[in-house]
Amino acid sequence: MARRRQSIAHVSPGSSYPIGATIYPDGVNFSVYSRSATAVELLLYDYPGDRQPAQTLRLDPSRNRTFNYWHVFVRGVRPGQIYAYRVHGPFEPERGLRFDASKLLLDPYARGVVIPDKYSRAAAAAPGDNAPYAMKSMVVDLSRYDWEGDRPLRRPFNETIIYEMHVRGFTYHPISRVTPSKRGTFAGLIEKIPYLQDLGITAVELLPIFQFDVQDAPAGLVNYWGYSPVSFFAPHIQYATARDPQVAVDEFRDMVKALHRAGIEVILDVVYNHTAEGNQKGPTFSFRGLENEAYYILEQDRARYANYSGTGNTLNANHSMVRRLILDSLHYWVEEMHVDGFRFDLASILSRDETGAPLANPPILWDIDNDPVLAGTKLIAEAWDAAGLNQVGHFIGDHWKEWNGRFRDDIRAFVKSDPGMVEVVASRFFASPDLYAGKNLGPDQSVNFVTCHDGFTLNDLVSYTEKHNEANGEENRDGHNGNLSWNCGVEGPTSDPVVEELRQRQIKNFFAMTLLSLGVPMLLMGDEMRRTQQGNNNAYCQDNEISWLDWSLLEKHADIHAFVRNLVRFRQELSIFRDAHNLNLTDLLHLAQIEWHGTRLYQPDWSQSSHSLAFTIHGIREAFHVMCNAFWEPLEFELPSPPRRSANGWRRIIDTSLAPPDDFSTLEAAPSVGTAAYCVRPRSVVLLATEIIRRRELPRGHNVSRSPAAVGMKKG
């Protein structure tokens, strides 16, 4: 990084607004919030690792403070200036006050963070001055970038296929064929956009890209996932090709612009529920040293932090200042960085008050829900937290969609042949009306997924019955124990062709059920080529080949990749998914022409011992018949007659038991099925389809609204 020394002419009182470092033609205005501080110093540095500042500006409370904001205008400061704060005040943990003027503090609103070569998390937690080892803020120029007319895409949810991915892990593997200097960066991701387009992805959901503390991990390991934020505005500098915050900002924008040109939206996984400062033994980076009792939820013993996040602390999201911070951050990423949406990590925490109690109408959630800047932005809630608050199906607000954890668990259980799953899986196929039908919302309320970053990959879900997290250094105690996984007979990799064939089939079953269900499908990076984490279901600290996408798997598992690619395209062409957004879920299911079956027509088996399900859908332009056999023996399914206005009778589009290329066919090339029954092999999914010549009359026979997928979950 180039030397940052700049001539400073003089200072003036400045303004409390805007918060943060704001560039003007003749200098920069600095403003920071601290209600209880007795003194604030602004320190200007030449280099990230400097022990002494080039200039120290002690703010005068009578001139440089307006209400709870400390501010100063410094003439001569330009973009690239490195700065930090020292904040003085009482260290009285029993009152919730933890001021420590020996620690350098980041500006919570800084657009850039620099990290010295000798950065030390431990130094921020130990007594004494940590200046040469501390992260520092940097003034970043947002005005000079040329967006070339770019805008967020505003793609409807019903047309969305989400791909959850890690910026570094997607391209860092040595055989990724990305330019070596760009591997693991925003710029490297650009080189893989053609792959995402070819797969049919319409939105990437990026694991956290806010600056996070890489040292927040067990000894000898690093924080890889990024759920350890130190800033809510600065892009992670390690994802840039140069360790310069200005480069990070510009390259992030380059990535967004390139993805938009390819028709792909950018959704950020955002962590507004905790920070990297941890519990009472943790480091002081920023919030703790500025106004601890405002930023965090504290226990009744004010010296201790509430821990609803499972990481040591919990942000006090409904405090007025924290609400402002969150909204300002969201506005920044939409207005200045052009992102299309957000997935809120542990979003249920945002519904808690300063005592930790859930609120009926949390101010911050309604602020976000009704915000005009965010009106066209995708908002997705992980509607639970680490302390047991689960709001799936009843998250606050009208704008929010939800990660459907019930879809994940129920589909996993059904596919591995657990008893009593048929009725709930029927609901999952149709956007979970048992969870969402009463909210007057559309079928896209449910974001459907089987795997995500947290847990097994899809390959490992069918290859390991137990987690294998020994590499994390916690004696395999970390990570979820209840994974609803099954190794298909052998734990881990195997050369047994029978086991491998079964694993392939189960993987295709998961993809078929996810992509043929109403709702918004989300796929995990690399599942389409059977990426493995070697049985590690909590690889948050594994910045190595356990986590990186091994691109050689694309050739090794080309058959799975082709199956997923074809299935995505098939879904995107179907009228039922394109048209479903015009109705709310309740009306859709009342009007839908759905017929439920078991192995016998119109006789679904909802019993505990059942492992089979079939249903027929009569759409406007297509009709489908789906058969799911999660039993360990083949089952003969009776077939309904093709619709009277069928163009060509039933054709077999998907049979997951067949070897490629017969496992998937386009409607035009699919073989005809003219028999009265179809033998579905063990643990397989079959889809038959036909085109409708013109609009079909409403059926007169079976009362389809009494299916389990209908409102009220009534049995047929």
pLDDT in tens, 387-417: 999 999 999 999 999 999 999 999 999 999 9
First to last CA, the chain: 69
Which helix H or strand E contains 652, and what residues bound it? strand 651-655
Cα–Cα distance measured from residue 572 to residue 520, given in angstroms and rounded to the nearest whole number: 12
Instruction: Report the pLDDT averaged over residues 689-712.
Output: 50
State whether the Cα torsion 277-282-288-292 is positive or negative.
positive
Structural tokens at position 110: 């800084």
Return the number of other C-beta atoms located less than 10 Å from residue 671's C-beta: 12
Question: Is the pLDDT confidence value at 705 over 80?
Answer: no
Q: What was the pLDDT predicted at 714?
A: 38
Q: What was the pLDDT predicted at 704?
A: 40
Answer yes or no: are the C-beta atoms of 469 and 221 closer than 8 Å. no
Q: Nearest Cα to 164, choosing from 457, 414, 377? A: 457
Cα–Cα distance measured from residue 378 to residue 444, given in angstroms and rounded to the nearest whole number: 11
Instruction: Report the pLDDT averaged over residues 328-356.
Output: 98
Question: Is the pLDDT confidence value at 591 over 80?
Answer: no
Q: Nearest Cα to 243, choosing from 114, 368, 151, 137? A: 114
Q: What was the pLDDT predicted at 287?
A: 98
Question: Is the pLDDT confidence value at 700 over 60?
Answer: no
**Percentage, residues of the chain above pLDDT 70:** 94
Structural tokens at position 482: 């209840």
Over the range 204-238, which residues count as b (16 or more CB within 10 Å of their CB) and which as e? bbbbbbbbbbbbbbeeebbbbbbbbbbbbbbbbbb
pTM of the predicted model as reported, rounded to 2 decimal places: 0.95
Cα–Cα distance measured from residue 596 to residue 578, given in angstroms and rounded to the nearest whole number: 23
Q: Which residue intervals of 491-637 are DSSP H helices?
A: 497-515, 553-556, 558-573, 575-579, 585-591
Q: Nearest Cα to 452, choosing from 392, 387, 510, 518? A: 510
Helix (H, G, I), strand (E, B) or coil at 447: strand
Cα–Cα distance measured from residue 211 to residue 440, given in angstroms and rounded to the nearest whole number: 38
What are the CA-CA distances from residue 543 to residues 35, 119, 214, 560 (Å)? 39, 18, 10, 26
Instruction: Report the pLDDT averaged over residues 119-135.
Output: 98
Cα–Cα distance measured from residue 498 to residue 211, given in angstroms and rounded to the nearest whole number: 46
Q: What was the pLDDT predicted at 692?
A: 80
Q: What are phi and psi of 307, to 5 degrees?
A: -130, 65
Answer yes or no: are the C-beta atoms of 465 and 485 closer than 8 Å. yes
Parallel, antiparallel or unpaired: strands 378-381 and 401-403: parallel
Q: What was the pLDDT predicted at 207?
A: 98
Instruction: Report the pLDDT averaged over residues 39-65.
Output: 98
DSSP category for residue 518: B
**Percentage, residues of the chain above pLDDT 90:** 88
Reported in sequence order, the residue ranges of 69-126 that DSSP labels E, i.e. its strands, are 69-75, 82-88, 91-92, 97-98, 112-114
DSSP category for residue 515: H
Q: What was the pLDDT predicted at 708?
A: 52
Instruction: Report the pLDDT averaged over residues 200-207.
Output: 98
Instruction: Report the pLDDT averaged over residues 281-285.
Output: 98
Q: What was the pLDDT predicted at 581?
A: 61
Which domains, from first to last, does the chain contain?
11-138 (2.60.40.10), 158-422+436-503+526-563 (3.20.20.80), 578-713 (2.60.40.1180)
Q: How confident is the model at residue 443 (pLDDT cuts 50, 70, 90)?
A: confident
Structural tokens at position 473: 């250094």
Dihedral class, residue 80 (left if φ above 0, else alpha if ψ from -120 to 50, else beta): left
* Residue range 293-311, pLDDT digits in tens: 999 999 999 999 999 999 9
The partner residues of 596 in beta bridges, in order of sequence, read 615
Q: For all residues of the chain together, what is the average pLDDT?
A: 94
For residue 481, how many C-alpha atoms fall within 13 Å in the half-sphere facing its CB?
3
Question: Is the pLDDT confidence value at 184 over 70?
Answer: yes
Helix (H, G, I), strand (E, B) or coil at 25: coil
Residue with tokens 């956009």: 193
Question: Is the pLDDT confidence value at 53 over 60?
Answer: yes
Cα–Cα distance measured from residue 701 to residue 77, given in angstroms and rounded to the nearest whole number: 78
Answer yes or no: are the C-beta atoms of 342 and 330 closer than 8 Å. yes
* Residue range 315-339, pLDDT digits in tens: 999 999 999 999 999 999 999 999 9
Q: Nearest Cα to 562, choosing from 504, 520, 514? A: 504
Parallel, antiparallel or unpaired: strands 446-448 and 401-403: parallel
Q: Which residues contact 700 (CB under 8 A, 6 or more apart)?
A: none
What are the CA-CA distances from residue 388 to residues 257, 279, 287, 442 (Å)? 39, 19, 26, 27
Helix (H, G, I), strand (E, B) or coil at 280: coil
Q: Nearest Cα to 689, choosing from 654, 651, 662, 655? A: 651
Structural tokens at position 425: 């899986």
Catalytic residues: 345, 382
Instruction: Report the pLDDT averaged over residues 277-293.
Output: 98
Q: How confident is the model at residue 707 (pLDDT cuts 50, 70, 90)?
A: very low
Return the number of other C-beta atoms located less than 10 Å from residue 165's C-beta: 24
Instruction: Report the pLDDT averaged over residues 681-701.
Output: 74
Q: What was the pLDDT predicted at 711?
A: 37
Task: For the chain, count helices (H), then strands (E).
Answer: 17, 27
* Residue range 76-97, pLDDT digits in tens: 999 999 999 999 999 999 999 9
Q: What is the CA radius of gyration of the chain?
A: 27
Q: What was the pLDDT predicted at 574?
A: 85
Q: Nearest Cα to 417, choosing from 187, 630, 223? A: 630
Answer yes or no: are the C-beta atoms of 690 and 623 closer than 8 Å. yes
Question: Is the pLDDT confidence value at 663 over 80?
Answer: yes
Let me know the angle formed at the C-alpha of 707 by 705 and 708, rounded to the nearest 5 degrees: 130
Question: Is the pLDDT confidence value at 8 over 70?
Answer: no
Q: How confident is the model at residue 590 (pLDDT cuts 50, 70, 90)?
A: low
Q: Nearest Cα to 184, choosing from 210, 166, 197? A: 166
What are the CA-CA distances from residue 127 to residues 20, 101, 275, 281, 585 (Å)? 27, 11, 20, 11, 57
Q: Nearest Cα to 606, choosing from 707, 535, 685, 705? A: 707
Return the number of other C-beta atoms located less than 10 Å from residue 500's C-beta: 15
Question: Is the pLDDT confidence value at 156 over 80?
Answer: yes
Answer yes or no: are the C-beta atoms of 347 and 381 closer than 8 Å. yes
* Least confident interval from 498-512, 571-585, 678-692: 571-585
Letter for the amino acid at 643? Answer: P
Answer yes or no: are the C-beta atoms of 325 and 296 closer than 8 Å. no
Q: Give me the helix-helix angle, 497-515 and 422-429, nearest 10°.
A: 50
Answer yes or no: are the C-beta atoms of 1 and 310 closer than 8 Å. no
Cα–Cα distance measured from residue 549 to residue 561, given in angstroms and rounded to the nearest whole number: 14
